[in-house]
Structure 1
């Protein structure tokens, strides 16, 4: 059996100037945590918001300001309920000034959102692959993700991002802080993300398929 991951278009998703992306998106100064994807319970959007609240609660007073961007819309099963839960958490934890929602974006603009971020968070309860993680890493952005399903394959733990073994918001907050508060570590993860992302480029995907087809053809010829 051969398993081949989807490809990422590296002509769209690539590392580029962070400040230029932030300027195009009209973002304020400071650090940025990004959640991108459908707003659904199994994507863990509310976990991301709660983790962000925990992060702010334990930030040092002299730390840089930080914002959470949520790019996506309510979709599918329990999407509306998850969005309502996010807004309730934002109100209860007084996050209105630090959380911004964006509608789903075309790839060219989504790439700017990735590049504007210091870290991408993916607290999914389940994930067959994790295309957002692959795209973010192609842009050089470290990913903090649940250690579930395809995310354990797409994120190279401690090299291109961090994997969290449960859906505890405090554990996610701690992992996010490890990236935000340690620039040299974040820079190493960024380099590792770009390198690891080559595994998911369309060139690599096509090569895997050609090798597969070649093997099948050889077996057929031999048989």
Structure 2
């Protein structure tokens, strides 16, 4: 196995996480591709062109190429991209036929999975798929932001034909099997990693000086503003705290069809609860700046309705920040309940506030959780992720391709 064709149709690894549709998947594609390069397997990343200025091929890291594929108007929303799947598929196929040096396909998300499924058959190449989120899981969580029937059909087809399905955790593997009937023998658990050279503990006082923050207790939320992420619950948690001096910092921007209306809802709620002076909105931050917010905060709130993994929680843990999160998906792998943070089974803001209070009102508890968070994060590295993927890719060479025809 020499080289992978990595498909990331709806978002580029070069994009800033937290803006628009950019999130943990951007980080995953960039870091996995870079780490695989170090492990001896090169990658070419294919994404959809969203402007006229970006060159056809851009290079990042140690010579990894990101290829911009023309597919529909630049302004198309993610929710409308399925209509241009054929254009994206054809563009990737044309490039691969000219290059003739890629050995397997790695698809990220259902849109790329749809394209890669077609390419698997037209080019006779093995297909590895990482879904990052699953429609049936999101629907069960109460997310009504998108009609899922078409997506569920595509996900089912791709799962049925993928030679390897990559799962972030045992929880996602269970979801793949129970909701989609995935063959467990083709599911490989490969957790993402975190860059410990960036995300590591440092002085809270110095971080607050850099950010011009005072000594108020600080709750932190990092993510896209959309109903699925539970920003409204983070705000309600702040309101329920007995300590009325604690502040909440929200880092992110609106995403998806409901993003703008959700932000308006959040801002109105903050005003109605009398929290205007205690909530700070901050635009999405690059990693080298985001790390200071993790170091400056006292607790990370992650009240998502569903999470495939939750890279933000892992980044926070690596910086020694205790996490109070929903007991969903991969967050249950990252957060060690009552050791590095708390996992909450309900969506009652009082429950979140009670557990936040246990941390911010007990300095010894907070310090112990901080140390345990750092310790538990050490097993998650991108080099380990790449090593597991490299082994899977090498094993794939000796397998017969799954035939879904």
Mapped pair 1:137 → 2:317: yes
Mapped pair 1:51 → 2:237: yes
Mapped pair 1:73 → 2:253: yes
Question: Partners in 1 of 2:197 and 2:259 — Cα distance?
Answer: 31
* Deviation of the 1:3 alpha carbon: 1.2
> What is the number of equivalent residue pairs in this alignment?
213
Query: 2:211 pairs with 21, 25, 33, which one?
Result: 25
**Aligned-partner SS, 1:29:** coil
> Quick check: 1:144–1:164 contact (8 Å CA) kept in 2?
yes
Asked which structure has the greater RCO (Cα within 8 Å, sep 6+), the reply is 1
Question: Partners in 1 of 2:295 and 2:229 — Cα distance?
Answer: 21
Q: Deviations over 1:99-127 (max 9, x none)?
A: 10000010000111111001100000011
Question: Partners in 2 of 1:135 and 1:24 — Cα distance?
Answer: 19
- Ranges in structure 2 where 5+ consecutive residues have no aligned partner: 1-186, 400-405
Q: 1:195-206 counterparts in 2 under 5 A?
A: 195-206=375-386
**Aligned-partner SS, 2:378:** helix
Q: Which residue of the partner structure matches residue 90 of structure 1?
A: 270
Q: Which residue of the partner structure matches residue 10 of structure 1?
A: 196
Mapped pair 1:149 → 2:329: yes
Stretch moving more, 122-131 or 200-209 = 200-209
Question: Partners in 2 of 1:50 and 1:32 — Cα distance?
Answer: 15
- Ranges in structure 1 where 5+ consecutive residues have no aligned partner: none
* Deviation of the 1:220 alpha carbon: 3.7
> Quick check: 1:198–1:204 contact (8 Å CA) kept in 2?
no
Question: Partners in 1 of 2:217 and 2:360 — Cα distance?
Answer: 7
* Deviation of the 1:212 alpha carbon: 4.0
Q: Which residue of the partner structure matches residue 181 of structure 1?
A: 361
Mapped pair 1:99 → 2:279: yes
Cα 1:118–1:191 change in 2 (3 A) is same
> Quick check: 2:238–2:246 contact (8 Å CA) kept in 1?
no
Q: Which residue of the partner structure matches residue 209 of structure 1?
A: 389
**Aligned-partner SS, 1:38:** coil
Question: Partners in 1 of 2:292 and 2:272 — Cα distance?
Answer: 30
Mapped pair 1:114 → 2:300: no
* Deviation of the 1:197 alpha carbon: 0.6
Question: Partners in 2 of 1:164 and 1:172 — Cα distance?
Answer: 7
* Deviation of the 1:207 alpha carbon: 3.7
Q: Which residue of the partner structure matches residue 158 of structure 1?
A: 338
**Aligned-partner SS, 2:274:** coil
Please report the TM-score for the alignment, with normalisation by the length of structure 1: 0.90
